Structure 1
Amino acid sequence: MQIDPANIKKWNVIYPVYINSKKTVAEGRRISATKACENPTCIEIGDCCSYLKIPFAIELDKAYPRDFMQRGRVRVQLKREDGSLWNSEIDSKKQLMLRIAELIPKHHGRTKKQEPVNTSTAAGPSKSGKGGRKKK
């Protein structure tokens, strides 16, 4: 699919903060914390958009206005030029954000990161015997 840079300015913008469960509504979260996901990235949001067959463009040089340290945003096109939807199940930006937040925990990058944490069962080094100084 061909992306027209002049028309991209009309596309919807999704910042990762919008679906971050770690953020408050005052900090920019747009969906409920129970439905949001933990620390999403622009790459994961883009992957979810491609899975949903929705055109997107990642802009890593942009920052969220309320938190300028949070870099990156994703532009998405919900409707075609003729007004028809790209994905018939998603007809609003809010529905798209909810669907993305649902998909991100299942993202292939997330599942690989969590495996090593779950497999370690060692409680840590344990020292046997009494503590303290030896008596002479």
Structure 2
Amino acid sequence: MSTGWNSSKKHSERERWISIYPIYLNSKRSLAGGRKLAKDKCVENPTYQEIRDVLLAAGMNVGVENKLHPKERSKELLFCGRIRVQLKNDDGTPVRSEFPTRDSLLEYVGTSIPKLKTRQGKQSSNEQASQPSTSTSKKGKGKGRR
């Protein structure tokens, strides 16, 4: 159980790391519904695995917790998960100079998720599914109304 914020804890301790829920980056949610960024910087239904992969590739210290955001209505596994990220060193300087704030890190994650290989595959399959089929199929004559 969390005891609240404690200034005596160091930035390297997991309790001081920032939390990122997938709902923060979900373009289908409203700002009141939990989204933290502008829609153009968000993605559709991000998962905690995608967020984790992007942050690990950026060289951040990452932890995954099995938590659910309070505003998340769905208890599906797709929407579960909380990512903890170390944003600052013990002396208060950013771990990575490109990400001095939580917002800069969220923007980076939101713009990087669409570049993942798993997202690239989903987009091409969606485009194929949206194309109309050109096959000619005969419709059988039914009995109709009486």
With normalisation by structure 2, the TM-score equals 0.76
Q: How is 1:1-136 mapped onto 2 (pairs within 5 angstroms)? A: 7-59=13-65, 61-67=66-72, 69=75, 70-119=79-128, 121=131, 123=133, 125-128=135-138
Give 5+ residue unaligned stretches, structure 2.
1-11
With normalisation by structure 1, the TM-score equals 0.81
- CA distance in 1 between partners of 2:59 and 2:50 (Å): 14
Give 5+ residue unaligned stretches, structure 1.
1-5
Identity of aligned residues (%): 32
- The Cα offsets for residues 35-93 of structure 1, whole Å up to 9 and x where unpaired, read as 1111111111111111211111011x211011252411100111111222221111000
Greater alpha carbon shift after TM alignment, 123-132 vs 36-45: 123-132
Report which of the two has the higher share of strand.
1
- Summarize the Cα distance change of 1:9–1:129 in structure 2 as closer, same or farther, 3 Å threshold: closer
Deviation at 1:132? 6.1
- Summarize the Cα distance change of 1:93–1:127 in structure 2 as closer, same or farther, 3 Å threshold: same
Contact kept in structure 1, 2:23 and 2:72, CA below 8 Å: no
- CA distance in 2 between partners of 1:119 and 1:67 (Å): 31
Number of aligned residue pairs: 127
Q: Alpha carbon RMSD of aligned pairs, Å?
A: 2.3
Moved over 4 A (4+): 119-122, 128-133
